[in-house]
Amino acid sequence: MTVTTRPPVLIPDNVAFMSAAVTWVRHWNEHLFSFAIERPASVRFRSGEFVMIGLPGDTKPLMRAYSIASPAYADELEFLSIKVADGPLTSRLQQIQTGDQVYLGKKPTGTLVCDALLPGSRLFLLATGTGLAPFLSLLRDPDVYARFDQIVLVHSVRRVSDLAYYEELESQLAEDPLIADEAKAQFVYVPTVTQEQFRNHKRIGALIDDGTVFAAPLKGPAKLDPATDRVMLCGSNAMIRDFAELLEATGFTEGSNANPGDFVIERAFVG
């Protein structure tokens, strides 16, 4: 957590967006940070959805899509953010401190929700980089453990320090009283680091091909099977494109809020 060193920065009222105060900030490394804001009473969302977040711009608020990392029942809205050095929003957002205000969109939305998936027994959450964020929301929601027997998170990053929430996830969310028992029995964490030494260092596709993802304590076949498995993808365009093609070739159908299916996707960023 950072120590506040200046007075909070308050922002002008805006008709299109709400203002919310930052409650904490946690920097993971020079590329990543997390922060939380107060949750306005009017904000309703389903675990896995995203919302617009922003700061004042030259003429109007500068807004970007952000997955909500906290679960639907939480009092705060938590986010995991990239720091893009010359990024219009994140070059400034990375400076926020407790008490500062940010703009918040009024209507969270998205497809990485349980409602967009058909019932199944194993849920695979495949993320690169900040694509982890919506899965943190889902993994902290008791409803997910009620719907699926086992939930596997595969998180691929370049460097060890990019493994945000590593300790929490490695402990199977043991500090979270609401879901600790369920997570201990049902949650499997598979982190992988592609550009530094780590126990897993292959990309997600290779970890699926070589069976690492399906190793005990996971039960069931050592392959993705549309009869029993459901998949959520969040990350880079390349990862999503490759997996969506692979899943469709294996008989999985893409789901949406209107038509639930076997897998759902969301780009963690455009580019």
Ligand X SMILES: Cc1cc2nc3c(=O)[nH]c(=O)nc-3n(C[C@H](O)[C@H](O)[C@H](O)COP(=O)(O)OP(=O)(O)OC[C@H]3O[C@@H](n4cnc5c(N)ncnc54)[C@H](O)[C@@H]3O)c2cc1C
Q: Where do contacts with ligand X occur on this chain (CB under 6 A)?
A: 50, 64-67, 79-82, 84, 87-91, 129-130, 133, 266-271
In the chain, what is the straight-line distance between the N-terminal and C-terminal CA atoms, in Å? 30
Helix count (H) and strand count (E) of the chain? 7, 11
Tokens 């530094």 sit at which residue? 196
Q: Which is nearer to ligand X, 207 or 234 (CB)?
A: 234
Give the pair of three-digit tokens for residue 15: 């008709």
d(CA 236, CA 224): 21
Q: How far is CA 112 from CA 38, 57, 102, 137, 147, in A?
A: 23, 29, 24, 10, 14
Q: Which is nearer to ligand X, 32 or 144 (CB)?
A: 32
* Cβ-closest position to ligand X: 87
Name the minimum Å distance from CB 271 to ligand X.
Answer: 2
Q: Which is nearer to ligand X, 70 or 90 (CB)?
A: 90
- Per DSSP, the three-state class of 114 is helix
Name the minimum Å distance from CB 88 to ligand X.
Answer: 4
Q: Which is nearer to ligand X, 133 or 173 (CB)?
A: 133
Q: Are 250 and 115 in contact (CB under 8 A)?
A: no
Name the minimum Å distance from CB 25 to ligand X.
Answer: 14
Name the minimum Å distance from CB 126 to ligand X.
Answer: 15
CA neighbor of 66 nearest in space, from 101, 34, 21: 34
Name the minimum Å distance from CB 217 to ligand X.
Answer: 29
Name the minimum Å distance from CB 86 to ligand X.
Answer: 8
d(CA 203, CA 183): 24
Name the minimum Å distance from CB 158 to ligand X.
Answer: 10
Q: Which is nearer to ligand X, 102 or 224 (CB)?
A: 102
Give the pair of three-digit tokens for residue 151: 């939930």
Q: Which is nearer to ligand X, 117 or 224 (CB)?
A: 117
Where is 153: in which H helix or E strand? Answer: strand 150-157
Give the pair of three-digit tokens for residue 220: 């069931």
CA neighbor of 70 nearest in space, from 140, 150, 131, 121: 140
Q: Which is nearer to ligand X, 262 or 266 (CB)?
A: 266
What is the three-state SS of 118-133?
Answer: CCCCEEEEEEEHHHHH
